[in-house]
Amino acid sequence: MESVTSYIPHREPFLFVDEIVEMTDDRIVTTKMIDPSEDFFKGHYPSSPIMPGVLICEAIFQTGAILISKIIKESEGENGLEGVPVLTRIQSAKFKKMVKPGDTLTLESSIVEKLSNVYYMKGSASVDGKKAVFVEYACCLANS
């Protein structure tokens, strides 16, 4: 399977996906090891560090962007799909478990519906098989 960076433009220090585990036409699973030395742990919160929920969501969104980019790559020349996946909506975000230094996130994202250049998606992040975050969101293809 290709590397994460062959699908999305994100790079360190704002890349929140380490590895693609599985990818089908409408679903993807990735992982991210949460390094205890991440800068955000210094201030969130020093005595009891947890990964900010917005960054967990970002990892889910990056996972979904990889899937959309795969679809775009496979369809180049066939139906004119082009652009960069850009987040346009976040809804129904639910935070159920804290993510701590040293945890490994398992990230899943799937396409619920596609209308024109908009992808309606759902995603989740889990630690040790327990859901930490669930979110529904939408992305559209923007000209780069």
**Can you count the helices (H) and strands (E) in the chain?**
1, 6
44 is catalytic: yes
C-beta separation of 18 from 3 below 8 A:
no
Going by the DSSP 8-state scheme, the letter that residue 78 receives in this structure is T
DSSP states of 34-73 as a string? --TT-GGGGTS-TTS----HHHHHHHHHHHHHHHHHHHHH
- The residue annotated as part of the active site, out of 44, 97, 122, 131, is 44
Q: Which tokens in the block code for residue 101?
A: 């230094």
Catalytic positions, written as ranges: 44
